[in-house]
Amino acid sequence: MNILLIGSGGREHALAWKLAQSPHCDTLFATPGNPGIAEEAELVELNILDHVAVITFCAGYDIGLVVIGPEAPLVDGLADSLRDAGIPVFGPNRKAAQLEGSKGFTKDMCAAANIPTAGYRRHDSKISALAGLAEFQPPFVIKADGLAAGKGVIIAETSQDAQAAIEDMFGGGFGDAGASVVLEEFMTGEEASFFALTDGKDVVAFGSAQDHKRVGDGDTGPNTGGMGAYSPAAVLTDAMQADVMERIIKPTVAYMSAQDMPYSGVLFAGLMLTHEGPKLIEYNARFGDPECQVLMLRYSGDLAALMLAVANGQLAGAPAPAFLPEAALTVVMAADGYPGTPEKGGAIVLKDGIKAKIFHAGTAEKDGQLIANGGRVLNVTATGATVTEAQLNAYTAVDAIDFPTGFCRRDIGWREVEREAEA
């Protein structure tokens, strides 16, 4: 079968790498792709906002599966258009993607389906949100309802800061995403990510990971899309994962189907491991970036066949996803300036013999030279018997990469490395 992959980041490079290994994959196409993805796929130029153009391409090139990497096309309804045209697609329809696209929708679902999460209130006006602050204690958690490129969550220590955040959201500081806000109870605990695949009826677990959202060592500095990740997240024990499946994931899938918006694709649950057990922080309707990169290094099955089974509603008949016992860890090499304005155009030299899988996140080619072309540039991903060993292997590779205008954190995986040292 021919496959079309949509996206251009490190997540999509990891998906392309794994899809291309599948015996079911004849030609893999990707749009827009990047120089790393080009090693696995034929890049095509398509305007993905033009659904008819995407469908026409799929018909012309006999595409048997479309894999949508990022959230924006999902929230835009690209999966609906493809499904309506009879093209199998991995990724939820627009209404189901509200699980990521509207934080208020997800909180209301949690309330209706009795899914453990932080207490909350929704507000559609500045006046009511400001008044509603009185129901909460500091630190205040204020969220723009819609997609805000990972920047829509403000944790405010004081009510003055909380008021300023609300003013900013309703003042348009977060675009349309801030037209409605969610105020939440602050939860404490360690965070972990859990992944599950579902075709709307059946559900299978698809691994765990932890990421590092802050730009600086020791989890300091501003938030980013993620500076590194590792899998598995041992802090999320097998018993907790079973609990998450029963109390969070399965009720979500059942609720979405009962509401006539069946969810098909990957559910990426951000969890807070509280003293009362795992609680849902948020859902994403796609794989995490860079969590996907570590999952793909560990997943040992046939990704194309599994994604097609999800797309066709045949997950029940598919083999259970198998993962290597090894740990995988990825270090994000970012361009100087990130998460502010990154310096573009810096030269990158990848020497031969680097013993890690290097996924391209934001690169371009200019006159035969690889250059930085985004905030997050490379994802240096390695495996090891333990997270400690995977970390060593990843940083050995990082040190062999020549990228003078880039930087990375030096402590990816520190929580698990500390735990392994204590064990």
The answer to the question of residue 240 lying near ligand AMP (CB under 6 A) is no
Place of tokens 């079973």: 242
| Alpha-carbon span 342 to 407, nearest angstrom | 11
The answer to whether residues 110 and 280 touch, using CB atoms and an 8 Å cutoff, is yes
The single residue among 65, 156, 183, 187 that binds ligand AMP, judged by CB under 6 A, is 187
The answer to the question of residue 184 lying near ligand AMP (CB under 6 A) is yes
Contact flags string 99-118 toward ligand AMP, x per CB under 6 A = -------------------x
Query: Nearer to ligand GLY by C-beta: 291 or 302?
Result: 291
Query: Nearer to ligand GLY by C-beta: 12 or 211?
Result: 211
Judged by beta carbon distances under 5 to 8 A according to partner kind, the member of ligand AMP, ligand GLY, none in contact with residue 153 is ligand AMP
Count of residues touching ligand AMP (by CB under 6 A): 11
Q: Retrieve residue 319's tokens.
A: 């083999």
| Alpha-carbon span 271 to 152, nearest angstrom | 17
The single residue among 173, 216, 270, 346 that binds ligand AMP, judged by CB under 6 A, is 270
Query: Nearer to ligand GLY by C-beta: 87 or 292?
Result: 292
Q: Retrieve residue 308's tokens.
A: 């097609």
Judged by beta carbon distances under 5 to 8 A according to partner kind, the member of ligand GLY, ligand AMP, none in contact with residue 291 is ligand GLY
The burial of 220, by beta-carbon neighbours within 10 Å (0-12 exposed, 13-18 middle, 19 or more buried), is given as exposed
The answer to whether residues 375 and 362 touch, using CB atoms and an 8 Å cutoff, is yes
- Compute the least distance from the CB of residue 210 to ligand GLY, in Å: 10
Query: Nearer to ligand AMP by C-beta: 99 or 281?
Result: 281
Residues of this chain that bind ligand GLY (CB under 6 A): 211, 225-226, 284, 288-289, 291
The answer to the question of residue 282 lying near ligand AMP (CB under 6 A) is yes
- The torsion region of residue 189 among left (phi > 0), alpha (psi -120 to 50) and beta comes to left
The answer to the question of residue 96 lying near ligand AMP (CB under 6 A) is no
- Compute the least distance from the CB of residue 275 to ligand AMP, in Å: 14
Query: Nearer to ligand AMP by C-beta: 272 or 380?
Result: 272
| Residues near ligand AMP (CB under 6 A) | 118, 141, 153, 184-187, 191, 270, 281-282
